[in-house]
Amino acid sequence: MSHTFEEVRLRLPHLEVAAHLYGPEDGRPVIALHGWLDNAASFSRLAPLLNGVRIVALDLPGHGLSDHRPPGAGYNIWDYAHDILQTAEQFGWQRFSLLGHSLGGIVSVLLAGAMPERIERLALIDGVIPYTGEAESAPRKLGEALRALLAVERKRKPVYARFDQAVAARMKGVGAVSREAAERLAQRGLMPVPGGYTWRTDPRLMLPSPLRLTLAHAQAFAQRVECPTSLIIARQGLMTDAKVIEFIDSLPFESHRLHGGHHLHLDDDEGAAAIAAVFNPFFAS
């Protein structure tokens, strides 16, 4: 990674998180939130291209170099909202903006809908509302989650004999990425173990959700967002459901459809530059 950033660790009241800091200290405060199973390196191409902003690119709990949640705790999407607020407290930010990709974008919308007084702007990349579930499926989903939780301690994370094997596996994962993008994520996300390398991520992140918001719940959060919002939709990304797109088009969001996959901000320089061309005037306005 050729651009300068500062590596920091932040001791929150409930756990410790790691982050990359970009930009001038007096810039517009922005907390950047990566996608599921990614880490702060997700913003290593884009963050240096954004002007006049002070970016705290977090490793969300359970990801990258941040702590895992303690035994008995879970990774519900709304729990990340508390992590974000506690991070903002570390910097004395009462109002701040959010830059979110995928899961990070979904969490950003939840927090902005729940506490609109704290969020100045939302910059979203291929993520707005979560996968949802209706009441009739809730008992089955909870049962699946509880069975998986009981079995998680018996499971072992994959071990890759070579770094490049782990990179190849990440390229084929959910939201497939370019080789260089996978290498950036792997440099931060892998750790050495006997026999090779494995991912630092908490295995509980792969467990099924015990409870999902209903579609009405998810839409209510998005509809309550009061701050200016700019959304990038990747044309070859994951936001392809017609009903979701129809709902998003009904929102008062500034929306842009750009060529690229789900990780277009990280896959190559062209994708990062195209997003920066959208977000720089948005943050400056």
Encode pLDDT of 101-134 as tens digits. Answer: 999 999 999 999 999 999 999 999 999 999 999 9
The verdict on whether 137 is a catalytic residue reads: no
Domain made up of 6-133+214-284: CATH architecture? 3-Layer(aba) Sandwich (3.40)
Phi-psi region of 52 (alpha: psi -120 to 50; beta: other; left: phi over 0): left
Per-residue model confidence (pLDDT) at position 176: 85
The tens digit of pLDDT for each residue in 17-56 reads 999 999 999 999 999 999 999 999 999 999 999 999 999 9
Say how far apart CA 148 and CA 129 lie, in whole Å. Answer: 25
Say how far apart CA 210 and CA 148 lie, in whole Å. Answer: 10
Which pTM value belongs to this model? 0.96
The pLDDT confidence band at residue 1, using thresholds 50, 70 and 90, is: very low
Task: Report, as an integer, the average pLDDT of 146-169.
Answer: 93
If 0-12 CB within 10 Å is exposed, 13-18 middle and 19+ buried, where does residue 102 land?
buried
Say how far apart CA 190 and CA 202 lie, in whole Å. Answer: 12
Q: What dihedral do alpha carbons 162, 164, 167, 172 form, nearest 10°? A: -100
Say how far apart CA 244 and CA 54 lie, in whole Å. Answer: 32
Which residue intervals of the chain are DSSP H helices? 79-91, 103-114, 138-151, 163-171, 179-189, 215-223, 242-250, 264-267, 269-284
Per-residue model confidence (pLDDT) at position 154: 86
The tens digit of pLDDT for each residue in 187-231 reads 999 999 999 999 999 999 999 999 999 999 999 999 999 999 999
Per-residue model confidence (pLDDT) at position 153: 83
Per-residue model confidence (pLDDT) at position 3: 59
57 has pLDDT over 50: yes
Better-scored residue on pLDDT, 180 or 3? 180
273 has pLDDT over 70: yes
Say how far apart CA 255 and CA 163 lie, in whole Å. Answer: 38
Say how far apart CA 201 and CA 110 lie, in whole Å. Answer: 23
If 0-12 CB within 10 Å is exposed, 13-18 middle and 19+ buried, where does residue 154 land?
exposed
Token pair belonging to 173: 């994962």
263 has pLDDT over 70: yes
92 has pLDDT over 60: yes
- The single-letter DSSP state of residue 160 is B
Residue from 42, 66, 97, 102 carrying the catalytic annotation: 102
The lowest-confidence range among 11-15, 72-76, 197-201 is: 72-76
